[in-house]
Chains A and B, each alone.
Chain A
Amino acid sequence: MAVMGQPVDREAEQAARRRRRSLVLALVLAAFVVIVYALTIAKMGPGVLQRPL
């Protein structure tokens, strides 16, 4: 059983690692969005939207 079970365990482990990597990447991208937003507000202030159309 142990020998037969090994590939399944490996695949499950690989899938878990992949899922975790995707999650971390999503968090990094979300943080980047927040940072750019905060930076825009910090540099331009609330007047960011006050411009001629």
Chain B
Amino acid sequence: MAYVDDHGQIAAVAGEARAEDYFALLKPRVMSLVVFTALVGLLLAPGGINPVVGFVAVLSIAVGAGASGALNMWYDADIDARMSRTANRPIPAGRIDRDHALAMGLVLSAFSVVLLGLATNWLAAGLLAFTIFFYAVIYTMWLKRATPQNIVIGGAAGSFPPMIGWAAVTGSVSLEACVLFLIIFLWTPPHFWALALYKQSDYGAAGVPMLPNVAGEGATKVQILLYSVVLVAVSLLPPLLGFSGLLYTVAAAVTGALFLLSAGRLFRTRENVAMKKAARGLFGYSLSYLFLIFLALLVDRVAGLAGWL
């Protein structure tokens, strides 16, 4: 049970949260993608890393991402309560007090950054700290409610994990790490705008200025298509830069072509029901796409090391 007080704040009703509710504050589904992309960055980086140190590095990055999720839920409890997708999150549902989420977010942020610094190096730790700051302050507090470009700029936060993984091994940020960053960065707008297209009324009710609500469906579909084209082009950079081979090239070309087909299908729809169906299709596929692209990078590297290719 939850209620909104005079200031529009969510006041939690005293109750006992389950351990799972605290885990939900860490946004485990987002965390799983962070773990995977960070792991790929770590394994692609030249030089190699002790498995225990590598495990602690990925764990620290995951906990740091979770901490920023908790800070996001602390700050956004009021709008989460107004959207069907997020209304059952622990704070708007009244199972966890906002202050607890804030405390958990801050403590885990500090622990994850210090642990990563001690385990690997302070460049990686600094990047993790910046990622948490970027997501919690720049995206959540400044951009999300202010501009329809919120998820474009805010998407940088989700793009850092492979770069942090890379930095954890090498102690530096190279062109390859920037390409991994760029792939996620360019993937984020089509992914979230597809969601925003079929959840438009939700974002409208919450007062979040997502692109479809501000610029309209037509403009959003054009933007999605443009970002998709640039994304697929950038996804073909790893073989050109020499850090992936034939297997990845084929995978990126096929999955990229399907991405463009899906974005093109959405672009051509005129009728509302068909548009929402196409947007849902693109949103679902985009999740598989990012996973497959990073999996292909990993398999390509492992196959290359094993001498299969």
Contact = CB atoms under 8 A, between A and B. Distances in A.
Contacts of B115: 35-36
Contacts of A36: 115
Contacts, number: 36
Interface in B42-64: 50, 52-53, 56, 59
Interface string B104-116: 0000000000010
Contact of A17 (B17, B59, B119): B17
Interface string A5-36: 00000000110011011011100000000011
Nearest to A38: B52
Contacts of B17: 17, 21
Contacts of B50: 42-43
A35 B56 contact: yes
A35 B62 CA distance: 15
A22 B15 CA distance: 16
Given A14-B16, A39-B52, A43-B53, A21 B22 contact: yes
B118 A17 contact: no
A11 B118 CA distance: 43
Contact of B19 (A24, A38, A39): A24
Nearest to A31: B59
A43 to B, nearest CB: 7
Interface of B: 15-19, 22, 50, 52-53, 56, 59, 115, 118-119
